[in-house]
Structures are given as structure tokens and as C-alpha cells.
Amino acid sequence: MSRPKRATMARGTIVVRRLATLAAFMFAASCLAAQVVDLGSADAYVRPGFSLEWVFSTPLPGDALWTVVPGAAGNRPLVMRELGLPGSPERTMFVVERQLPQRYCVMIPFVAGEELLASRTGVGLYLAQIGQNWQIYLNGSLIRDETYTAGDGRMRIERAVRGALVEVDTRYLRKGRNLLTIMVAGDPRDGHAGLFAGGPYLIDSYAKLESTRSESLKLILIGIYFFFALYHGILYAFRPKAKTYLYYGLATGLLSIFLFFRTFIAYELILDTRIVRALETGALFLLIPAFMAFMDSVVGRRVSLFAKVYGAIFAAAAVLRIFMLDEAILRLWQYTVALPIAWVVTTDIVMPLARSSRQRGLWQALLETVAGKLLLGIVVVGAAVLLDVVGTTAGLSAAYSDYAYLLLVFGTAATLAGQFVRAYNDNETLGADLARRVQARSTELEATLADQGSLSVALSETSGRLQASVDAAARDMRVATRVQQGFFPSAAPRNAMWDTAFAFIPSSGISGDFYDFYRRGERLDGLVVGDVSGHGIASGLVTVLARSIFHRNFYELKNRSLGAVLEAINEELIPELSAVENFITAALLRIEEDGRLEYASAAHTEILYRGTDRPHAMPLKPKGSSAYKGPPLGREGFDSPYTSIRFGLRPGDSILIYTDGFDEAKNVDGEPFGAEGMLGALTAAPVGDASQMLDFIVREWRFHVSGSKVADDATAVLLKRQ
């Protein structure tokens, strides 16, 4: 065979191998993507009533009691009143009273593959919208219950939820064919009874479904709108005559409320979705009148009678909708919302713009007048909404209107700011003219006193700035001190088994010490006392960080030893403190169910023990071991491990945990209080509750250091067994 032919065959072999590799990769990717189950594409079986006997098997073909709803991927709502089920009442537009809830059974068989069962983040069930009360069964096992009924059969709480995410126990999920059964209970004439959105209704990995519910951008926008509402409300409080600020604040505030109650978070915070829906629609109904009032005001007109009447009608409608005519009122708003928009566009934009264009020209009027700028903003919002509709119709994710609304809010705020700036400039011009007239009449006097006045003003300004700086620094320090102390417990816990007390004595302002009690209800799970090296604001900031890290790791690693807890805390603190010179010493205690204590130390001062059967207090150390302490936290280069010891306390026994600010404090002669002073004070403390004993110890310490400056923070916690 010739050399060219062999080369051609070799290249052909390489191409075949690459195609085979690509095909294998595409097949693997398709397998990974195949784990999602679209319930909307599967046939659904629906019937009135519900029985637990039905949740175990799919209805037999041809069973006349069941209505089969064919699947339609991405757009298959299951609204009970729309399915023509046997016994369903006739639908009327004006529903005055709500009927007693009826129960319906919805069955959706589906197939689960190995990829779904092997999901590392668990399996979740996502329901776009479901209501009004409901239960979910998977292969006969109940996995979610959202039913709240009173004794007379009425719903105490409605749960018509958007974006419900249910965690699926994979023990109930089988490879191959599975059966999802949903019990729906609700008013048979209400459009919220059932799965009342087109979709999606999915079963997929829990993490993937949870990521689809992310609302970070929407919450940021809501926060921006609320900030604008608050800011302009404050401006109105300072300038009550400027009603434009009031109307704009109301409009943006109502917009933020409306958008918030359409988020998933609102349905998690408020259990009864009737409250969510009432607040959502109430804000929506009042948003248009507030916007109309703002538009009238911003163009220099009084609020129109039409805006007042429209606002009064739909304010009453928002209240009435809570009790009756729910859907009829919403439809009325939808059919009439174009009227106020047309009114605003005509009277507040088109007519003023027409008058201005006759004087300035159309383009100049568009760019310079308030009406022109508002018209441009409305055009941008309208275009964005149109793009959203087109994108959604094409199956694309579209959110242009979110940004367009933001631009409109910013643009409107800029218009208000422009009016303020113009008024300020007019005042500045008037003031400048007045100043020139005064200047012309007082030239001789100013010439005589110029040098003295300049010097006096300069000194006064310098003094004022210096005093302002001193006051600001002192104020900031007071605020920082209060903020820091707000992170720490303000009261010592006490229960039937344990009595505690604490003393927190900063040397000046912000403290470098921290303490915390770990409680669950009346139970005391443990406590920590720590000391950050150094002094000042830097050490105080580290205490807030350390307190949070200790609290989280104490509970997240509750099944591990305290030595392992300190190891985890140290690993988290090392990168946080790598850029500073601070390190942390700490004593960490855990109180077990049987009353025994587990104790671990990171280079902290010794714990002192006072027993009822001992004449003197003593340091608490393990027998025969002096290396039970670990190194300081937040510093690299130490190889010593963190260990923990366990011990018990009898009724009446107590232990004292303190920072080195107590034993290192010196008197006027330079003598430290020392560990001996702490032992002596604990030994001499009168028998009583923990607070009385610790008060005695602190008084002894204060007596020793009286007359001298305390250079370090001092913190102590006394724990006594009842």
C-alpha cells in the first residue's frame, strides 16, 4: 500500500474516533439532563372527592368517575371549576358568599430515571401555583400537608401558593413508574382551587429547583423602590407644601409593596395567603390613583377630581374584595385600568406637551419639559413590556420591564431633583443679587473690617471643624459601643438546673472581650468567654465576627467534640484574621443532657472551681495532664491539637470563667490581682445565687484596683449548679 493511502486511512481513523467520543459525550450529557420530570406533559386523572384508598394505583382505563386531562408541556393548568367535573356548581361572575371547600383528587403518573434518584442535592417537587388547601402523596406516602380546616369544614387558613417547593424523600421514589397524588381542597367556584397556573410543574434535583426560585434582582429592585418611597416621604415631612414628594413616595411605596407580595418570600413569611392576596391587590388598586396624583402635581396641576373618585372607588373595592366579589372586582379593575392611564397621558402629558411645542418646538419640548421627559419614560416602559410579551410568547426568559420600571423611577426622581435644583438656583440668584446691593452700600465698612473679619471667620471655621470632628469621633465611639453590646446577651439565663451571671467591663468604649450563652428556650446548651488580642475598634470588630462564628459552629457541629469545634472555628478564623495582627483565646463549654459539662480551651485563662465539699476554690485541670489547652485561634503555625475534657458538678458547685483583664489588673503599687486574688475572692464569696457570688468577686477586684487605671477589658461568667 502506498504511503499517501496509509496517511488517508490514518486520518479517517482519527476522525471516526473523534466522532465516537463526541457522540458519547452528547449521550452522557443527555442522560444527565434527562433527570427532570415535567409533570405538565403527563396525563392527569381528576375526580371530585378524595380517599386514601385511591393514592396507591392509577385509575383503570375507561373509569367514568375519573376525568382525564391530556398533558401539555409548559401549559397545562388544572383549575377544578374549569374541568367540568361531576357535581361542580355553575360558574357565576358575581359570587357573594364563599362555599364550603370541596375535595378533589388529582393523579399524575410519571417515570423516574436513575439520574433523578442519584441526585446529590436531593429531589424536589416544584409547583408553579397550587391552592387553596392541599396534600401531596408519592406512591401512597404523604410528603406534604397544607390543610387547615375548622370543625365546621371551613378553611381556617388558605394556602394558594406560588412557587411551592417540596422536598421529596427518595425512600418513597422508585426507579421507573411512580404515582403522584394531590388532594386539592377549595371553594369549587374559586379559580385558586387546583393547580391554577399553566406551569411549570417539575420534579428535579432540589438544588436546581431551588435556584430557579432565586429572586435576588427582584428584591434589590423592591428595596430601591422602598428607599425612594422612604426618602421622598422624609422630604415631604420637611417640606409639607411640596405634595409632589408625598404622591411620589406613596406611588413607589405601593409599587414596592405590590412587588414584594408577589415574591416567594411573602408566601413563606405569611401563612394565610388570603392576607398576601389582599395586600397585593390593595397595593395594586391604590397604585394607579397615587400615580395619577403624582402626575397631576408634577406638571403643576391640582389633583383632579377623576383621580380622587377613582382612588376612592378602588380603595373601597380593595376592602370589599376581602369579603366578597373577589374575581368580579379584579376583573372590573382590569377592564377599567386603561381609563386612568388614558386620562394621565391626555391631561398631564399630551396637552402640556402640545402647549410647549407651539412655543419651543416638538423636540425641545420633549427634551426640556417635565411632560416630555415623562412621555419618554412611558414609551420606554411600554416598549419593554411589549418585548417581555414577545419574549414570553417565544418561550424566552424576558425581564426588560423590570429594568424599564427602574429607569422610570430613577428618571422621575431625577425630574423631582431637577425641580428642587431649579428652585435652589433661583434662590441662589436672588440671594446673589441681594448680596451685590448690600455690598455696594457697605464697601467702606468691609474694607475697614476685612482683615479682622477674615481672621475671625477662619478661626471660627477651624474651631468649628475641630469641635465637629471631636464630637463626631465621640459620637461614633458611643454608637459603636452600643452596637457591639447589642450583639451580646443582655441578661444571664437561669433555669431549674443552672444559674448564671456575667460581668462585662470594657476598659474604655469598645471591648476586645466577648461572651455568649447558647440557649434553646429554657434549656442552656453551653457558653463561651473569649478575649481578642489588642485594644480598640479593630479588636471590637473581631469580637462581633468571632461571636457569630462560635455560635454557628457550636450548633452545626453539636454531635462532635468541642475540640473538633475549636478546630473548625480556627480554620475559619485563620483566613479572616490573616491580614491583621489579632488572635483569640477562648474557653468553650457545652452542657450535656445529663448535666455533665464538656470544656475546651484555646490558650485561655484557667477555669476556677468551687465545690460545696471543698474549703477553697481551685483551678480546674485534668488529672495528670498539663497539655489540655490548644493554641490561640486565628494564627497559623501551631501544630498542637484542641482537646476537650468532661466533668460534672454537684448541686451547689460553681465554676468561674474569666479573661486576663481580671488577674492582670494592677493596684496603685503595681501589684496584679493575679489568679490568687480570683481564687481568694471565689472562695470568700457568700453562698447565694450566681449573681450575688459574682458581684462579691467584682467588688473585691474593684477594691484592689481602686485609684489605678485599668488598662485591659475584663469579662467573667459564673455558672452554678442549682
Query: CA torsion 361→363→365→371, rounded to 10°?
Result: 140
C-alpha cell at 274: 388570603
pLDDT(126) > 90: yes
Average pLDDT score over residue span 374-395: 60
Cβ atoms < 10 Å from Cβ of 685: 22
Instruction: Identify which has the larger pLDDT, 547 or 368.
Output: 547
| Range with the largest mean pLDDT of 340-354, 570-584, 621-635 | 570-584
Does position 406 have pLDDT exceeding 60, yes or no?
Answer: yes
Asked whether residue 143 carries a pLDDT value surpassing 50, the answer given is yes
Per-residue pLDDT tens digits for 291-344? 889 888 888 889 999 999 999 999 998 888 877 667 778 888 888 888 888 888
Is there a contact between 244 and 252 (Cβ–Cβ < 8 Å)? no
CB 116 within 8 A of CB 150: no
Question: What does the pLDDT average to over 14-34?
Answer: 42
> Sorting pLDDT into bands at 50, 70 and 90, what band is 678?
very high
Cβ within 8 Å of residue 169, ≥6 positions away: 138, 141, 143
pLDDT above 70 covers a percentage of the chain that reads 85
Query: Reduced to 3 states, what is the DSSP secondary structure of residue 410?
Result: helix
Instruction: Return the ∠ at Cα 58 (arms to 52 and 59), rounded to 5°.
Output: 90
For the cut 60, the answer to whether the pLDDT of residue 14 exceeds it is no
477-508 CB burial, b ≥16 within 10 A, e <16: beeebeebeeebbeebbbeeebbbbbbbbbbe
Mean pLDDT of 85-113: 83
CA distances, 30 to each of 35, 201, 322 (Å): 9, 20, 49
Quote the mean pLDDT of the chain: 85
Render pLDDT for 636-658 as a digit per residue (tens, 0 to 9).
888 788 999 999 999 999 999 99
Q: What are phi and psi of 91, to 5 degrees?
A: -85, 130
Architecture of the domain spanning 37-212: Sandwich (2.60)
Top CATH class of 216-418 equals mainly alpha
Confidence band of 370 (pLDDT split at 50, 70, 90): confident
Q: Which of 586, 572, 552, 588 is nearest to 634 (CA)?
A: 572
- pLDDT at position 402 is 63
Query: Beta partners for 415?
Result: none
> What are the angstrom distances between the C-alpha of 471 and each of 37, 457, 475, 538, 540?
64, 20, 6, 20, 21
DSSP secondary structure string for all residues of 6-29 = HHHHHHHHHHHHHHHHHHHHHHHH
As beta bridge partners, residue 597 has 591, 647
Q: Is the predicted pLDDT of residue 26 greater than 60, yes or no?
A: no
Helix or strand holding residue 45 (H, E): strand 44-48
pLDDT at 185: 95
The pLDDT-based confidence of 92 (bands split at 50, 70, 90) is low
**485-721 carries CATH number 3.60.40.10:** yes
Residue 34 pLDDT level (bands cut at 50, 70, 90): very low
Over residues 573-595, the mean pLDDT reads 92
Neighbours of 120 (CB within 10 A): 7
At residue 559, the pLDDT reads 93
Q: What is the pLDDT of residue 118?
A: 87
pLDDT of residue 27: 38
Q: Transcribe 250-268 into DSSP letters.
A: HHHHHHHHHHHTTSHHHHH
Instruction: Write phi, then psi, for 319 (nearest 5 degrees).
Output: -75, -45
With b meaning 16 or more CB within 10 Å and e meaning fewer, what string describes 143-181?
bbebbbeeeeeebebbbbbbbbbbebeeeebeeeebbbb
In whole angstroms, give the CA distance from residue 640 to residue 631: 7
d(CA 249, CA 247): 5
| 486: confidence class by pLDDT, cuts 50, 70, 90 | confident
* pLDDT at residue 508 greater than cutoff 50: yes
- CB of 495 closer than 8 Å to CB of 524: yes
Q: What is the pLDDT of residue 401?
A: 57
Phi, psi of 497 (to 5 degrees): -100, -35
Dihedral class, residue 445 (left if φ above 0, else alpha if ψ from -120 to 50, else beta): alpha
Q: Is-contact 374 349, C-beta < 8 A?
A: yes
d(CA 673, CA 693): 18
Pick the residue with more confidence: 382 or 243? 243
End-to-end Cα separation, the chain, in angstroms? 99
Q: 11 Cβ partners below 8 Å, 6+ apart?
A: none
pLDDT higher at 27 or 351: 351
CA distance 123 to 117: 7
Do residues 190 and 222 lie in contact, with contact meaning Cβ atoms separated by under 8 Å? no
Taking alpha carbons only, the member of 259, 386, 281 closest to residue 333 is: 281
* pLDDT, average across residues 370-380: 72
683 compared with 1, residue with greater pLDDT = 683
Mean pLDDT of 458-462: 74
Distance of CA 490 to the CA centre of its chain: 25
Q: What is the mean pLDDT of residues 96-103?
A: 80
Whether 374 contacts 295, CB under 8 Å: yes
| pLDDT for 399 | 56
Task: Please state, in angstroms and rounded to a whole number, the distance separating the CA atoms of residues 377 and 407.
Answer: 8
Sign of the Cα torsion 32, 35, 36, 42 reads positive
Q: Are 80 and 100 in contact (CB under 8 A)?
A: no
* Helix, strand or coil, per DSSP, at residue 474: helix
Q: Are 147 and 63 in contact (CB under 8 A)?
A: no
Cβ distance 192 to 30 under 8 Å? Answer: no
Strands 141-146 and 194-195: unpaired
The CA distance from 106 to 68, in Å, is: 10
- The residues with which 523 forms a beta bridge, in sequence order, are 520
SS (H, E, C) 325-351: CHHHHHHHHHHHCHHHHHHHHHHHHHH
DSSP 3-state assignment of 43?
Answer: coil
Cell of 208: 436546581
User: What SS3 state is found at 135?
Assistant: strand
Domain boundaries, the chain: 37-212, 216-418, 485-721
Cell of 171: 425512600
Q: What is the per-residue pLDDT for 206?
A: 93
Give the pLDDT confidence of 352-366 residue by residue, as tens digits.
878 887 887 777 767
pLDDT level of residue 505 (50, 70, 90 thresholds): very high
Cell of 213: 426560585
Question: For residue 7, what pLDDT is reported?
Answer: 43
pLDDT in tens, 386-401: 665 555 444 444 455 5
> 3-state class of 97 per DSSP?
coil
Using 50, 70 and 90 to split pLDDT, how confident is the model at 405?
Answer: low
